[in-house]
Structure 1
C-alpha cells in the first residue's frame, strides 16, 4: 500500500512539474520553429483569430484615444468622429489581417520586438565576421498571468500572451503592444 501511495505521489508530482514547465517548452518550440523558418510549425502554435482580435482591439483603442482627445473626449461633440473611426476600421482591419500571419509572428519572435508595422532594427553590416555577431538572440521574460495564461515579455516592453490549449499545450492568443506603439 505504501508503494502505491509513493508511486501516485511521484506521478502527480511529475504531472504538476511538467505542466508548470510547459510554457518554457512552448517558447522554446516557437523559437526553434522560427529559427528553422518553418511557417507551418509557427502557425500550429498560434490562435490567429484570437491574435488578430487582440491586435485590432489595441489598435482601435489607441486610435480612439487620439480621436477622442481631438474631439473633446466624446463622439457627440464631433459628428465626424464616428465616421473617422469607421474609416480607420476599414484601413486597420485588412492591415492587421495581413500583418498577423505566420511570417509576421516569426519576425516578432526572431527580432524580439513585439509590434505591428514597426521595422526590425537593421543589423550593422560594417562588422567583420571575426567580431561579435550582428544580432544577438532576443531574450524574453516569462511569467504566468493566471492558471491558463502566461506572458512572454520582450526587451521593448511588449508581450506575447499565450493561453492554455490542453494540459501541456499553449497557443499564442494575443499581444500587448509596447508603450509608444
Structure 2
C-alpha cells in the first residue's frame, strides 16, 4: 500500500507541473491576443451602435482629450498652409477654435467610434459629423409583394452609374494593427498609397482589458 501511494505521488507531480505550464502558456496567449479581441468586440458593437458594449471598451475622457489635441493640431497646420503671412489668419484661427468643441463632442460618441474604426477620421471641416448608423431594412407588409422595390433601386443605380463612369466603389481602408509597447496597441488606417494615415490607439486597463483611449491623425 505504501508503495502504491509513493507511485501516485511520483505520477501526480509531473502531471501537476504539466498542468501549471499549460495554464501559464494559455494565460500568456490570451494576454497577447486580448487587444485584438477588444478591437474586434468594439468594432462589432460600434457598428451595431451597442452603446453599453462600446462604453466598456472606450475611455471617453482620454479619447476626448486626444481628439481635442489632434484636431487643434490639424486645424493649426491647415491654417499655416492656407494663410501663411495673411492677416486673415487670426480670423481663421478663431473660427477653427470654434469648430473644435462641437467636432470633439460629435466624435466622442458611439457614432464617432464607429467612424474611427471604419476609416472615417475627423477632417476638421465646418459642421463635420460622423456618419449615422446604416438604416435597418424595413419589413415589407405581409401579402404586399407587388410593392417591393425593383432590383434597380436608387442605390443600385448609383453604384451602376459610378461603375459606368469609371469611378470605383468606395473601398475599405487598409488596416494594420500591432503592439507599440507592452501597454499600447495601435491600429493604423490608410485608404491607398500616398493617402493620409491615422491611428486609433488602445491602452491597457489592467492585465487583460484594453480601451480605445486616443487617436493620432498624423498616422
Instruction: Place the TM-score, normalised by the shorter chain, in its bin.
Output: 0.7 to 0.9
Q: In structure 2, the residue corresponding to 1:126 is in which secondary structure?
A: helix
Q: Which moved more, 1:92-101 or 1:48-57?
A: 92-101
Match of 2:212, SS state, is strand
How big is the shift at 1:21?
0.6
Q: Secondary structure at the match of 2:177?
A: strand
Aligned residue number for residue 59 of structure 1: 71
For residues 6 and 38 of structure 1, what CA distance do their matches in structure 2 show? Answer: 41
Match for residue 131 of structure 1?
none
Any unmatched runs of 5+ in structure 1? 73-77, 128-133
Quote how far apart the aligned CAs of 1:35 are: 3.6
How far is 1:22 from its partner? Answer: 0.8
Q: Which residue of 2 aligns with 1:113?
A: 120
After TM superposition, the score normalised by the length of structure 1 is 0.72
Question: Which residue, 186, 195, 198 being the options, matches 1:151?
Answer: 186
Over 3 Å counting, the alpha-carbon distance change for 1:61 and 1:148 in structure 2 is same
Q: Who is 2:141 aligned against? A: none
Give how far 1:67 is off.
Answer: 5.2
**Structure 2: runs of 5+ lacking an equivalent:** 1-12, 132-154, 161-168, 192-196
> CA deviation digits over 1:89-129, x for unaligned, max 9?
3441233123321111113324x233354776xx87334xx
Q: CA deviation at 1:68?
A: 5.8
RMSD of aligned C-alpha atoms?
3.3
Quick check: which has more Rg, 1 or 2?
Answer: 2
Distance 1:87 1:166 in 2: 40
Secondary structure of 2:208 counterpart: coil
Is the 8 Å Cα contact of residues 116 and 200 (structure 2) preserved in structure 1? no
After TM superposition, the structure 1 stretch with the greater mean CA deviation from structure 2, 140-149 or 33-42, is: 33-42
**TM-score (ref. length: structure 2):** 0.61
